[in-house]
Structure formats: C-alpha cells, structure tokens
Structure 1
Amino acid sequence: MQTHFTEEALKQPHIQEADRVLRSCVHCGFCNATCPTYQLLGDERDGPRGRIYLMKQMLENPDDSENVTEQTRLHLDRCLTCRNCETTCPSGVEYHKLLDIGRAEIERRVPRSRADRAQRYALRKALVEPKRFQALLKLGQTFKPLVPGKLKDKLPPSPADAGTRPEYQRHARQMLILEGCVQPGLSPNTNAATARVLDRLGIGLTPVAEAGCCGAIDFHLNAQDDGRARARANIDAWWPHIEAGAEAIVQTASGCGAFVKEYRDILKDDPAYADKAKRVSELAKDLVEVLRDEELTSLEVNEGRRLAFHCPCTLQHAQKLGGAVEGVLVKLGFTLTPVQDAHLCCGSAGTYSITQPELATQLRDNKLNALEAGNPETIVTANIGCQTHLNGAGRTPVRHWIEIVDESLPPSAGNA
C-alpha cells in the first residue's frame, strides 16, 4: 500500500511504525473473510481492510476534522482486536500495532462523551486491582437484582474454595506466575490447580505479590501510558527472581500472556526498560507451553470425558498456539468434540463485551452453538474473559482446562 506521510511526520516513531505496517498491506481483502465483525455487519469499514483505510486517511491528514469523526471511532471501537486477520493475512500485516496507533490518535482528535469516558475510567479502576475487584464482585453478587443487565451476566455464583497450593520451595525448578487481576476473584481455583499440576511435574510456582495487572486493560482502553507503567512495575517485581534463575513467567490467562509477550514492543523505546522488557517477553509462557514440553505420563491421568475446547483468540492468533491445548488434552486421554469455525472470536475480547454488548452477545451465542454441537459434558478454555463471557449465557458449564486436568489427578497427587 502506498503511503503519503510528510518527512516531518515520519520523524515521529508512531508514524514510522504506522508507515511500516501500512506499506506491508496489499489490500487483498482476505482478512475480511475471517473478521467476526465484518461477517456480522457486512460493512467494509467494520473489517480490517476498511479500518486500515480509515486509519491511513486519519494519520496522513492530521488537520482533517471533516472526515475524522465519531463514526470513524465507532468502526475502530467495534474491532475485537482478535487478530484473526493477522493469521489470515498472506503479507504478515501487523494490524494490531496499527490499531493501537489509530485508536490513540482518534482518542486525541475526537474526544469521547463524558458518559463514555466515565464508563471506561470505571472499567479500568474496577478491574485492574484484585482486592478492589473482589470487593465489588462480592457486592454485585449480594445485590445482583440491582446490577445493570449487561453486567449481571458477568457475575458468577460465589466460587468454590480453590483448595491448597503445594509448597513451592521444595523444587529446584522454579517459575513465576502472573496471578492476574480478575481471575483470582472470578475463578480462584485456576491458579491453584496450576500449582498442583506443576507440583506433580517437579515445578514450583513462586508467588510475587508485588506483580499486578499485566496492563492490557489500560492499554486497550486507550490509556496506553498507564498500561506501560503497569508493565514497568511488573518487570521491577519479577526482575530479582529472574536474576535468581526463575525458569519462566507462567500465565494461565491467554490474554495476559499475549500482552506480556508484547512488553518488548511497547517498551522498546524506553532506554531504562527495553532490555529487561525483551527478557521478560522471552520468559513469558502460556501454561500450555510448559505442559507440552513435559513428560505427562507422570501425572497418571487416564481420562475419557467429552470436552469442547474454545481456543481464545489471544492463544491462537496472538500467541500462535492454536492446537497446543488440544494436543495436551488428547495426550491425557480426554475426548475432544469437533468445533466448527473454531478460529472465530467468542465476543469477550477484554472489555468489549461490556462496551459493545449487542455484537458480543451475537458472537457469544454463535460460538456456544458451535461448541455445543458435539454434545460435550463441559466446555473448557484458556482465558478468564472467554470463560466468564460464555458462562454468562447459562448454558453448558465453561471452565479453565487446567482445572479439569487437576480434578483428574489420582489421590496420591495431593489433589485438594
């Protein structure tokens, strides 16, 4: 794609990056074929190719107020950032990087309404601090009839006790774990189950209380500086453990994992953190990357339960780990049912299901229809956002896949 940036504009790092991404696009339109919002709405501007043209026009014309409007922002807001288009693209267009630039620019050029700004601020403040989120969650569960409709479905029943975590210090092999911000409240058993399974494999999970939200929520709600600040804080928290020999940084939520692996990119221009961020991104591993490299026979799991696996977009399109969880589950003896259009997003997409509830609900129901077609006992996934969003329909139960593995450990494994 030909671009028309001025020499002065190209002195700015974000315009240089936008120019690079735009020039890699051959505007073939293959991306639209797998774009969830284009499939639902049929509008070129609600597909990757159309959004690329909108962003190109906006970035090339910094003084254009006639064509850069709230309608432009609407089409960018409707993007799920699922990155399905990147998997489809034959030219390797890094669409999500252009989208981050475009969203920051539209935020500057077309200010949001007070109500919209308040909603986004509230989401950022409510979700990123685990203790605050858990307090709000408990309050919402207590007064659920009074909770607005689009939030009510997000409130699960009070979660069951997570059980005990094994003593991590007894193992020579040590990994860190990102506890997450909403997962400890919505599904506290996920990380506890992870610790128990890895304990059977001779791996201890070192807790790092100082590490907090990965920064994705802030970053993708266009508070990008706050997202970078959270990334720096996590790097500072993890760094002493990395220097002490921590083998990896494990994420059990694929959305967090995808973003931590982006630390090297979002902090590449920060001289104080660029090298550390690169190292952290190298050490970041989704849980399945740990398990698939281990000898799993020691777990002594021999299962036959019928499961449908929903592969989150952040796992298959961002981290390129499509098929990895399925491979581990089959190796352990689980039966996986076929899922049509498994590449499509479920509509969760971070806070998307709250900011774009109508589209998110359509995508959720379509995804559940596909997942339930094979009559599974349980649907499993690898991201707390997808898990909560799909469970909100009140249909087939949805859980994290590691919980099912943990439940299948024999009693001698210390399964609590």
Structure 2
Amino acid sequence: MQTTLSPQSQQLPRAAEAESILRSCVHCGFCNATCPTYQLLGDELDGPRGRIYLIKQVLEGQAVTRKTQEHLDRCLSCRNCETTCPSGVDYHNLLDIGRAVVDAAVPRSLGQRLLREGLRSVVPNPALFKSLVSSGQVLRALLPGPLQAKLPRSTPAAAPRPVTHHPRQVLLLEGCVQPGLSPNTNAAAARVLDRLGISVTPARAAGCCGAVDYHLDAQAAGLDRARHNIDAWWPAIEQGAEAIVQTASGCGAFVKDYGHLLSTDPTYADKARRVSALARDLVEVLRDEPLETLGVHGDQRLAFHCPCTLQHAQKLGGAVEALLTRLGFNLTSVPDAHLCCGSAGTYSITQPELARQLRDNKLNALESGHPQLIVTANIGCQSHLDGAGRTPVRHWIELVDAAMPARVNGAR
C-alpha cells in the first residue's frame, strides 16, 4: 500500500514501523472474511482492511474524528486477521500505533473517561478486585444484570499449593483478575507442575502484565508495568528459572511482546527480549513432559474454547486439545473455532452489545456437541462465557488436576 506519512507522523517514535506495516498490506480483503466485527456489522470500516485505511489516513495527516475512534474501538484485537492474512500484515501493532494517535487527538466523553480510568484502577489491582468481587457476590441481587453476569457463580477457595524445591524451577504470573475470579487455576497448575518435578518460584513483587493499561489509552503506564515485572522476575531468571509460565493466554501474549514493545528502551531492551524468550503458556511447558506419569484418565465430554490470544497471538491452536486428548478426555467438535468469543480483555465492558452477540454465537458453537463442560485457557474468556449461565466454563488445568490420583498422604 503506497503511503506518505505527514511531517507530524514522521516524528512519532514508531513511525518507521507504522509505514512498513502499511506498505505490507495489498488490499486483498481476506482479513474481512474472518473478522468477527465485520461479520456482525457488515461495514468495511469495522473490518481490518477498513481500519488500516483509517489509520493510513490519520498518519497521512487527514482529519481525525470521533467516528474514526469508534471504528478502532470496535476492534477486538483478536488477531484472527493476522492468521488469515497472506501478506503477514502486523495488524495489531499498527492498530496500537493508530489508536495512540487517535486517542491523543479525540477527547473521550466524561463517561468513557471515567469507565476506562475506573477499569485501569480496579482490574490491575488483585486485592481491590478480589474485595469488590466478594462484595458483589453478597449484594448480587441488588446489582444490574450486566454486573451480575460478570460475577462468578461461585468462587471456591483454592486448595493449597505444594511447597517443594525441585531442581527445575519456573516463575508463574499470578495475574490480576484470576485470583479473584478463579483462584484455583494457578494452584492447580502448581500442583500439576509439582507432580512433574517442577517447582513454582514465588515472585510476589510482580503484578499486572500491563495489557489492561496498554489497551485502554495508557500505553506508557502499560510499559511501566512491564518494566516493573522484568525487575521483579530478574533475580530468579539469573538464578536459573527455566520459564515464566502464564495460565492466562491474554497475559502470555502480552508478556511475549515485551521484547518488541521495549526494543528501543536502552535500559530494558535486552532484559525484555530475555523475558519474552522465557515466557511460556502452561501448555507449552506440559506438552513436552511425561504426562503419563500423572496417572490421569479423563473421561469427561468437553468442548475446548481456544482463546484468540492462544491461537492467533501465540500460534498455539490445537496444543491444549492435543494434550487433553492425550490424557483421555473426549473433546467435541467446535464449529468456527477460530472466531472470538467477545471477551477481548475489557472489550466485554467497553463494547457490551457486540460482546454479547459474539458470546452467544460462540456458546452456540461450543454447545453444539453437547459437552458436559466447556474449558478454556484464559480467565477473561472463562468469566465472559460463564456469565451467560449456560454450560459451566472452567480452566482446562483444573480438570487435569482434579483427575490426578491422590498421593499416599492424601495430598494432591
């Protein structure tokens, strides 16, 4: 795509990257065929090709309007288009660049500012978020329907984690909302890893991965969180931690991008590349281990929802399905498994109507094989899908953990 950046755009820190991405697009439109919002709305400007044109116009100096912002806001950042694109257009990075320019030029309404600032204040704060979830469950009947749907049906306490010191050590990203919405997920991961001779090294100073801030008009704050995590993890990395494990694929996709996002930071560039190289989704760690030693014999009928951040961002589509099948679980066929469920981080809150339509479409597909349970690999997708009150949704590692035989002393 022929592109001539305006003098102002040429001064942007990522100007060369934006121009390179724009020039890689050949206008083919294959991306629209797999874009969830284009399929729902049928508007060229609500598909990747149209959004690329909008960003091109902005960077070439044309007027920026609220409509431009609206079309960019509607993008889920699911990256399905990147999987489809024959030219390898790096759409999500172009979108990040374009959104930053548009958000700097178009002030949001007071309501939108309060919503986004509220999300950035609450979501990355695990203690505050967990406290609000607990309060919400007590007052559930008094809350509006959309808020009720965001609360888990129940929040069981996590079983204890093993305290072991195996020669093999990994770090585990605890996450922001997962401790409040599904506290057993990371505990289950730690127990399964322990059975395989891998200990989880605590890194309590680490916090939110930074994705929430980065995708809600606060990219600088998101990168500061990335730097904070690098500092928190670095001592354990120097002591030989073999991986930084994520049980939420959304967090994993962002941590794997640290190296790119901080590539021009002279203090953190090398460390960020090292952290991204060590970042592993849980399935990447487990799939190469002797799973037969776990003694798992799964016999449940499951539908697996593969999050966009797992299949399109991390290119791990089919990995969890293969692992669960290897352990004996019966997986149903899921039509249109490549399409987004509508969670997309905070999208289900900022774009509730589109998110609801996508959720219902996804649940129809997941339930078409009549599963007993739906499993997924990302807490955002899990709570979004489970909020419909239909087939229960859990993280897949909890099923693996529950299917392991108890040890002689009764502990898992």
TM-score (norm 1): 0.97
Distance 1:348 1:36 in 2: 12
Root mean square deviation, CA, Å: 1.1
Pick aligned residue for 2:345 from 350, 356, 367: 350
- Map 1:262-277 onto structure 2 (within 5 A): 262-277=257-272
User: What is the match of residue 134 of structure 2?
Assistant: 138
- 1:210 aligned counterpart, secondary structure: coil
- Take 2:231 and 2:41, find their aligned partners in 1: how far apart are those partners? 44
| Residue of structure 2 in register with 1:288 after alignment | 283
Determine the structure 1 residue equivalent to 2:39: 39
- For residues 229 and 93 of structure 1, the distance between their equivalents in structure 2, rounded to whole angstroms, comes to 27
Task: Decide which moves more: 348-357 or 160-169.
Answer: 160-169
Counterpart amino acid of residue 34 in structure 1:
T
How many aligned positions are there?
411
| Cα distance between partner residues in 2 of 1:15 and 1:152 | 43
Q: Residues 40, 126 of structure 1: CA spacing in aligned structure 2 closer, same or farther, 3 A cutoff?
A: same
Q: 1:222 aligns with which of 217, 223, 227?
A: 217
Report what 1:166 is aligned to: 162
**Separation in 2, partners of 1:7, 1:69:** 20
**Hey, what's the Cα distance between the residues in 1 that align with 2:171 and 2:333?**
34
Residue 335 of structure 2 is aligned to residue 306 of structure 1: no
Q: Distance in 2 between matches of 1:348 and 1:107?
A: 22
Cα deviation, residue 302, structure 1: 1.6
Query: How many angstroms apart in 1 are the aligned matches of 2:160 and 2:401?
Result: 12
Q: Which residue of 1 aligns with 2:370?
A: 375
Match of 1:50 in 2: 50
Quick check: 1:201 aligned with 2:196? yes
**C-alpha deviations, 1:125-149, integer Å up to 9, x for none?**
1110100111111111111233233
- Candidates 60, 67, 71, aligned match of 2:67: 71
Give the ranges of 4+ consecutive aligned residues of structure 1 lying more than 6 Å apart after TM superposition.
none
Whether contact under 8 Å (1:409, 1:415) holds in the other structure is no
Residue 112 of structure 2 is matched in structure 1 by 116
User: What is aligned with 1:176?
Assistant: 171
**Helix, strand or coil: the match of 1:250?**
strand
Equivalent position SS for 1:373: helix
In 2, Cα distance between equivalents of 1:300 and 1:152:
39
Are 2:89 and 1:93 equivalent residues in the alignment? yes
Q: How far is the alpha carbon of 1:150 from its aligned partner? A: 2.1
Q: Does 1:384 align with 2:379?
A: yes
> What is the alpha-carbon distance in structure 2 between the residues aligned to residue 69 and residue 168 of structure 1?
57
Q: Describe the SS at the equivalent of 2:72.
A: helix
Q: Distance in 2 between matches of 1:363 and 1:11?
A: 38
- Displacement, 1:13? 2.9
> Is contact 1:406–1:415 with CA below 8 Å preserved after alignment?
no
Q: Aligned with 1:365: secondary structure?
A: helix
Deviation at 1:30, TM superposition (A): 0.1
Q: Which residue of structure 2 aligns with residue 330 of structure 1?
A: 325
SS at match of 1:320: coil
Instruction: For structure 1, list consecutive stretches of 5 or more residues without a partner in the other structure.
Output: none
Partner of 1:126: 122
> In the TM superposition, what whole-angstrom CA distance separates every residue of 1:266-314 from its partner, at most 9, and x where no partner exists?
1111100000000000000000000011111111112221100000000
Distance 1:4 1:412 in 2: 65
Contact 2:9-2:59 within 8 A present in 1 as well:
no
In the alignment, what sits opposite 2:24? 24
Task: Among all aligned residue pairs of Structure 1 and Structure 2, give the percentage whose two residues are the same amino acid.
Answer: 69
Q: Distance in 2 between matches of 1:293 and 1:285?
A: 12
Indicate if the aligned counterparts of 2:6 and 2:59 stay in contact, CA closer than 8 A. no
**3-state SS in 2 of match to 1:168:** coil
In the other structure, the counterpart of 1:252 is: 247
Distance 1:412 1:142 in 2: 36
Measure, in 1, the Cα distance between the counterparts of 2:50 and 2:275. Answer: 35
Query: Which whole-Å CA distance do the structure 1 matches of 2:153 and 2:332 have between them?
Result: 27
Deviations 1:217-274 (A, max 9, x none): 0001120000000000000000000000001000000000000000001111110000
Where 1:412 maps in the other structure, the secondary structure is: coil
* 1:104 corresponds to: 100
Does residue 80 of structure 2 align to residue 80 of structure 1? no
Q: What SS is found at the alignment partner of 1:91? A: coil
Question: Matched residues in 2 for 1:333 and 1:142: separation?
Answer: 39
Rounded Cα–Cα distance in structure 2 between residues aligned with 1:222 and 1:83: 19
3-state DSSP class of the match of 2:170?
Answer: strand
Aligned counterpart in structure 1 of residue 400 of structure 2, from 405, 408, 412? 405
Query: Contact 2:82–2:312 at 8 Å: present in 1 too?
Result: yes
TM-score (norm 2): 0.98
Note the alpha carbon deviations across 1:384-413, whole angstroms, 9 max, x for none: 000000000000000000000000001127
Deviation of 1:415 (Å): 5.0
Task: Report the Cα distance in structure 2 between the residues aligned to 1:79 and 1:25, rounded to whole angstroms.
Answer: 18
d(CA) in 2 for partners of 1:8, 1:358:
36
Are the aligned partners of 1:380 and 1:399 in contact in 2 as well (CA < 8 Å)?
yes
The aligned amino acid for 1:57 is Q
Return 395-404 or 131-140, whichever deviates more: 131-140
Match in the other structure for 2:310: 315
Question: Structure 1 residues 184, 397: closer, same or farther in 2, change over 3 A?
Answer: same
Counterpart residue number, 1:14: 14
Separation of aligned partners in 2, 1:233 and 1:257: 16
